[in-house]
A = this chain, B = another copy of it.
Amino acid sequence: MLPLRAAARRILPRSFQTCHYSSSISTFPRTISSLLHSPPSDEGANETVTITGWVRSVRRMKNVSFAHVSDGSTIHPLQAVLTKEQSEDLSMGASVKITGEWKESVGGKGQQSRELLAEKVEVLGEADPLTYPLQKKYQTPEFLRTLLHLRPRILANTNLLHLRSGIISTLTAFFAENSFIQCHTPIITSSDCEGGGEVFAITRPESFFKTPKYLTVSSQLHLEALATAVPRVWTLGPTFRADKSDTTRHLSEFYMLEVEAAFIDTLDPLIALIEDMVATLIRSISASRLGKETLSAAGGEDKAKELEERWKGLLERPWSRITYTEAISRLNSAVEQKDAQFVFPPVWGAGLQAEHERFLAQTVFDGPVFVTDYPKSLKPFYMLPSTSTTPTPEGGETVACFDLLVPAVGELIGGSLREHRYNELLAEMQRRGMAVGDGGEDEGSLGWYLELRKWGSVKHGGFGLGFDRLVCYLAGVENIREAVAFPRWYGRCDL
């Protein structure tokens, strides 16, 4: 078959022939970042360059004007020196193309040690200062959330885009190096894994699928199926909860990083993996320009210092661990010793409230803490019984699981070993009234999940990390609605 290609080319009229063009990246405009961070040329000769970007500000002096131009490749703008005439049509938000001499600036320092002495200035797209919604004055996060299509132009938001991207690429490399396979698990699913939360239902087109379908609340069950073939899998994808939460840490659509590993007997390998993963991230970020810019964008020196301390703290290992039962004792002794006062009294068998989690992560441990071995009744059906030796009140049953709590954010990760024994899982599912019919025939049942335990079952476990919360935590951003470019929550789905 192959020789046809050449033959086909020969029979084509000349105009069909392709022409040569150069390697891709050189065909995109040079970024301001590459310019600001390039070493000064050896011979001290000044280079003629062309840059494109958006005007951040224009300062008009008597004989000369200075324009700050950003192209989103770095949060630091480039300074262009213009004649009065050249700057006439420039205003904040306008897009421009400037050609000029890239040279040492007189008395400049740091990022501003060089500047662009403009020769040719072209306005590509105007921005009428009277109508442009982004203004130099302080605009509240709530106001900016009404302008999601323009918000990425705010430098702090530009930085968050870079940071998220850097986290993704670092983690992708981390998992690849450690022989974890990245999988794409389905978004439209037949079953609701957790059983608890509200799900979004897809009902139109009618009867497109045989039965109603839902947006996934977790990839875990599907990852478990994959882990019975490829024992180290992970995924980073969107998950959905139709909860009416109106908090700084909940979204209706959010990204989860989920990991599943087979042939493990305890939680230790998962916990060590999490510590490794975060340490790798921190080392990569803090050594990079991305890290420096994230600190610059943190909102002042104090916040930058606090964030840098947070990063450093995360490198101290191992992180703290405490069983749920011990955590309840600790919370109660804090109440008794009048160290703390809670709205909800800490009671064994009840969930940890946000105020409890905050006290543990912020006050007791002042850093990340794994709370392990929660009561069985608080957790989903699939968890393996715990082997913890901590005595529980009235011998209450616990399961082999952990929640990772971190200051400011609260629960960041939840993980567990999974029940791998067919009979035990079947009994638990029946006890909870779950459908266990044959998966193929009866869509929506978890028969297939049970069947994973029927042939060649192995001990396994995994965890799910709230990816947007991780971005918040590493960026020092308080509200998850800032960490996501197009956030969706109860009643709000702009764009």
Q: Is the CB of A366 within 8 A of B183?
A: no
Q: Is the CB of A148 within 8 A of B225?
A: yes
Each complex incorporates copies of this chain amounting to: 2
Question: Can you spell out 14 A-B residue pairs with CB atoms less than 8 angstroms apart?
Answer: A5-B366, A12-B330, A24-B273, A25-B273, A73-B230, A73-B231, A93-B456, A124-B457, A128-B455, A152-B228, A169-B172, A184-B238, A198-B205, A202-B203
Q: Is the CB of A73 within 8 A of B125?
A: no
- The one of B5, B34, B150, B491 in contact with A210, judged by C-beta atoms closer than 8 angstroms, is B491
Q: Is the CB of B182 within 8 A of A169?
A: yes
Q: Is the CB of B168 within 8 A of A16?
A: no
Q: How many whole Å from A25's CB to the nearest CB in chain B?
A: 5
Residues on B with C-beta less than 8 A from A35 are: none
Q: How many whole Å from A246's CB to the nearest CB in chain B?
A: 13
Q: Is A78 interfacial (CB-CB < 8 Å)?
A: no
- Identify the stretch in A40-48, A109-117, A344-352, A445-453 within 8 Å (CB) of chain B at 4 or more residues: A445-453
Q: Tell whether A152 pairs with B225 under 8 Å between CB atoms, given A202-B202, A366-B5.
A: yes
Q: Is A396 interfacial (CB-CB < 8 Å)?
A: no
Total interface residues in chain A, CB < 8 Å: 157
Q: How many whole Å from A22's CB to the nearest CB in chain B?
A: 7
Across chains A and B, which 9 residue pairs bring their CB atoms closest together, nearest first? A152-B229, A125-B457, A5-B366, A24-B272, A72-B230, A127-B455, A201-B204, A27-B269, A24-B273
Cβ contacts A219-253/B at 8 Å (1 or 0 each): 00010011011111100011010101000000011
- The one of B233, B367, B443 in contact with A5, judged by C-beta atoms closer than 8 angstroms, is B367
Q: How many whole Å from A54's CB to the nearest CB in chain B?
A: 5
Complex Cα distance, B297 from A245, in Å, reads 48
Cβ contacts A429-463/B at 8 Å (1 or 0 each): 00000000001100100001101111111110000
Task: Select from chain B the residue with minimum beta-carbon distance to A449.
Answer: B149
Q: Given A25-B273, A168-B182, A187-B187, 8 other A-B contacts at CB below 8 A?
A: A1-B366, A25-B178, A28-B261, A72-B231, A164-B183, A165-B176, A185-B486, A189-B495
Interface centre among A157, A175, A204, A322 (most CB of B within 10 A): A204
Q: Is A255 interfacial (CB-CB < 8 Å)?
A: yes
Residues on B with C-beta less than 8 A from A454 are: 127-128, 131
Q: Is A493 interfacial (CB-CB < 8 Å)?
A: yes
- The one of B54, B184, B276, B440 in contact with A456, judged by C-beta atoms closer than 8 angstroms, is B54
Q: Is the CB of A93 within 8 A of B455?
A: yes
Q: Is A355 interfacial (CB-CB < 8 Å)?
A: no
Complex Cα distance, B268 from A21, in Å, reads 8
Task: Select from chain B the residue with minimum beta-carbon distance to A55.
Answer: B456
Q: Is A416 interfacial (CB-CB < 8 Å)?
A: no
Residues on B with C-beta less than 8 A from A12 are: 330, 364
Q: Is A15 interfacial (CB-CB < 8 Å)?
A: yes
- Identify the stretch in A58-66, A312-320, A377-385, A472-480 within 8 Å (CB) of chain B at 4 or more residues: A312-320
Q: Is A179 interfacial (CB-CB < 8 Å)?
A: yes
- Residues 254-298 of A contacting B (Cβ, < 8 Å): 255, 261, 263-264, 268-269, 271-277
Q: How many whole Å from A223's CB to the nearest CB in chain B?
A: 10
- The one of B33, B200, B271, B364 in contact with A202, judged by C-beta atoms closer than 8 angstroms, is B200
Q: Is the CB of A208 within 8 A of B491?
A: yes
Q: How many whole Å from A29's CB to the nearest CB in chain B?
A: 5
Complex Cα distance, B228 from A16, in Å, reads 35
Q: Is A140 interfacial (CB-CB < 8 Å)?
A: no
Interface centre among A16, A164, A319 (most CB of B within 10 A): A16
Q: Is A423 interfacial (CB-CB < 8 Å)?
A: no
Q: Is A186 interfacial (CB-CB < 8 Å)?
A: yes
Q: How many whole Å from A369's CB to the nearest CB in chain B?
A: 9
Residues on B with C-beta less than 8 A from A321 are: 18
Q: How many whole Å from A448's CB to the nearest CB in chain B?
A: 4
Q: Is A23 interfacial (CB-CB < 8 Å)?
A: yes
Residues on B with C-beta less than 8 A from A242 are: 204-205, 208
Q: Is the CB of B95 within 8 A of A440?
A: no
Complex Cα distance, B250 from A413, in Å, reads 35
